[in-house]
Amino acid sequence: MPAHGTPHIAAAPGDFAPLVLMPGDPRRARRIAETFLEGARLVTDVRGIFGYTGTHQGEPMSVLASGMGIPSVSIYATELLRHYGVRRIARVGTAGAIPASVALRDVVIASAAHTDSQVGRLPDSGVTLSLAPSHRLLGAAVRAAEQEQPDGGGAVRIGPVFSTDHFYLDRPAVFDTLERRGTLAVEMEAAGLYAVAAAEGGEALAVLTATDHLRTGEQLTAAERETCFARAVRIAADALLAD
């Protein structure tokens, strides 16, 4: 790696911990650094994508924003895993609930990521990969969720999500089909993260908070979105620390 960093990350070698929390929004990255990590210092801010490194429960841990969409998260995850010695990345983001059984503020742990992107297709092979998280991180997140103390938030759900390239996707039949197949929520990054982790030999997991509902039209305000994801961050961080 060049001493000045990668094309999208200005951190020096050793600036990132092996364990990384990855929200989409740079403001969430800063909030996690300020309220969740201890002794956090800014290590990169290229293109306004903030990255910090500190500790959590005495272990080095970093946070880096991914931006929106599969191409963006794929770039940052690849550079972290390939050039900075990162071993595990946990996405902590927002999602739109699909079935009525998932309510606003529920946490969704993504056991698989369906997608309409080409990220799961191997070139010139006709093969589409199954995009799934690290089994170790998934199991650790489920155990962490079971030990969480009730704090007025929603339930924790474990199941597939749909990672789409289209934020304004107006295709109800697609969501009907996905719901019949057990899909819990729609978002825009998990499939890209899982694909990169598989390609680079890393471990990945997505822990999401339902902030919108496709069926009811309910949605949290911008301020609520910024403050309701603490439980997902705790679950994701516990998973990163698992043996």
By annotation, the residues acting in catalysis are: 212
By CB atoms closer than 10 A (0-12, 13-18, 19+), residue 93 is buried
- Give me 5's structure tokens: 């960093």
Q: CA-CA distance, 194 to 16, in Å (whole number)?
A: 20
Closest-CA residue to 54 (of 87, 21, 24): 21
Closest-CA residue to 74 (of 176, 188, 189, 174): 189
Concatenated DSSP letters of 147-180: HPPP-S---EEEEEEEE-S-TT---HHHHHHHHH
How distant, in Å, are the alpha carbons of 114, 139, 190, 207, 229 from that of 133?
A: 12, 10, 9, 10, 20
Q: CA-CA distance, 207 to 198, in Å (whole number)?
A: 18
